[in-house]
A and B are shown apart, each in its own frame.
Chain A
Amino acid sequence: MVQVASFQHVAKRYPRGILALHDVNLELPKGEFTFLTGPSGAGKTTFLKLLFGEERPTEGALAVLGHDMNRMKISRLPGLRRRIGVVFQDFRLLSRRTTVENLDIALRIRRLSKDERRRRIDSILRIVELEGRADSFAEELSGGEQQRVAIARAISGDPELLLADEPTGNLDPDLSQKIMDLLRKIASRGTTVIVATHDYEMVKSIEARAIHIEAGRVLVQ
């Protein structure tokens, strides 16, 4: 598949008439690292929600990883989401569970064997440099560590597409840099990565395509 996602005249209107996105036309090629920039409330989160099926387009045609998102049955959504990794600004780890348990659940839903799960968890913990925090509870981790666990969970299933919504929003500059390096490392391994951020300094310092959204309209650079 050449295109991971394809937007054709896609619009998203929320129930009370709020137009979050208007006439979006673009393609997301496989294996690219792309920034999604724009001020808060511009529509970046809606854009990402459309990609992982949390919302459906109210107009236009959207295809993600070969699925027609307008017509897709709810029962098929879990299957699609297992091919996509999502990282949120507020981490969204399962509370009262350790790092390993958080990763383990993501792998259990993919019906991997116990050995395979163990192997992947060990490997991913190395990638995100969290081997020492394997048995710590989510509540005991620092912000940066929690975000790395969230990223680890997102990539644990070897997704084709990784979506990150303001992944460095809650972190200091040093940590932000580390997280970005990690995301770029993931992209270099073949995963298509989309990072929504309003940190313009970050965007300027990295050589990558940037899709700019302002008041629901897309301006591609």
Chain B
Amino acid sequence: MGNLGYYVREGFSGLRRGGSGSAGAVLTVVLSILVLGVVLLVVRNLQVLVEEARAEVEVEAYVAGDPTATELSYIETTITGLPGALAVRYVSKAEALEELRVMLGEDQYLLSEIEENPLPASFRLTMAPDYRTDERLAQTADQLELVPGVTRVSYGREWVESLSEIVRIAGLGGLVIGGVLALASVLVVGNAVALSVYMRRDEITILKVVGATHGFIRRPFVVEGFLVGILGGAIGVLLVFVLYATVGRLVGAETFLPWEWWLGLVGLGALVGVIGSFFAAAGHVHRAK
């Protein structure tokens, strides 16, 4: 497009002349991206939390009675051979009792009444990252139950699943909020551009008489909208970062948004700007006589 330079220059010029209308539109985009960014930040950190929690999840396979060394060795080898098995740790009956004693703390006097150790020995299995999903954990548990000598398998299923559920809902909530905000921003940018078109209506009339197409007249306004959007997006992302680095860290946030996410936010700002300005410009340029 030979006139691209012209459209861009006119777009910048329109932005400058737009004054408070443009500033208001940029501010709206900034706020929308900011809110969306904060929501995404929360979601991202929850995701990380869930991943870390999953990493600590051990699948515990309880063994019956008092197995011999050979039997234990056999079970251990089989378990180690399962797909996704990262590390296997044997916990003897005595160790299990000691863990319980530690966990009970002040209440460990309760154990003094017990004569025989009721706790079973177990093998604790840590899974590879890919195998920490609910589905795979369930599969692993099923496979473990089939190993001769293993009586019961547990892996703290409920809280892992509820944590995932929370993250999923948070993510969905974030999308809904984001959608509403994006829509509001589109309308505000559209309004600012409509104002811009109105302010330049004399100029537009002259261009029409001279024989300029609607596209030629419209494109600088779309550039203007794009600039509003990308500026708002960039400032919004910057503010999200500032919030993360200050408040976020204090509250325990560990990670900022991955580059695909924050770049996507800036892109969303630009997209909002383009969409809002395109429809506003198309409608009003057409109507200007």
Interface residues of A (CB under 8 A from B): 52, 54, 75, 78-84, 86, 92-95, 105-106, 108-111, 113, 153, 157
Contacts and interface: CB of A to CB of B under 8 A. Distances in A.
Contacts of B206: 92-94
B204 to A, nearest CB: 10
A80 B210 CA distance: 10
Contact of B210 (A54, A106, A113): A106
A78 B6 contact: no
B209 A81 contact: yes
Contacts of A108: 2-3, 6, 216
Interface string B10-47: 00000000000000000000000000000000000000
A75 B3 CA distance: 20
Given A108-B6, A109-B216, A113-B2, A54 B209 contact: yes
Contacts of A78: 208, 211-214
Interface of B: 2-3, 6, 203, 206-214, 216
A52 B206 CA distance: 13
Given A81-B209, A95-B203, A108-B2, 17 more contacts: A52-B209, A54-B209, A75-B214, A78-B208, A78-B213, A78-B214, A81-B208, A81-B211, A86-B210, A94-B203, A105-B6, A105-B212, A106-B211, A108-B6, A109-B207, A111-B3, A113-B2
A86 B203 contact: no
A185 to B, nearest CB: 22
Contact of A153 (B2, B210, B216): B210
Contact of A81 (B2, B3, B210, B216): B210
Secondary structure type dominating chain B contacts: helix
A46 to B, nearest CB: 15
A45 B102 CA distance: 100
A92 B211 contact: no
A110 B216 CA distance: 10
Closest 9 CB pairs of A and B: A81-B211, A82-B211, A109-B212, A78-B213, A78-B211, A92-B206, A106-B210, A109-B216, A86-B209
A105 B209 contact: no
12 contacts: A54-B209, A81-B209, A84-B211, A86-B209, A93-B206, A94-B207, A95-B203, A108-B216, A109-B213, A109-B216, A111-B2, A157-B211
B243 to A, nearest CB: 41
A79 B210 contact: no
Given A78-B212, A78-B213, A105 B2 contact: no
Nearest to B209: A86
A108 B3 CA distance: 7
A84 B211 CA distance: 8
Contacts of B209: 52, 54, 81, 86, 92
With a 10 A CB-CB cut-off, give which of A82, A105, A110 has the most chain B CB atoms.
A105
A51 to B, nearest CB: 12
A109 B208 CA distance: 10
Contacts of B213: 78, 109
A83 B2 CA distance: 21
A161 B210 CA distance: 13
Contacts of A81: 208-211
With a 10 A CB-CB cut-off, give which of B3, B203, B211 has the most chain A CB atoms.
B211
A105 B211 contact: no
A82 B209 CA distance: 9
A117 to B, nearest CB: 10
Contacts of B208: 78, 81
A78 B212 CA distance: 6
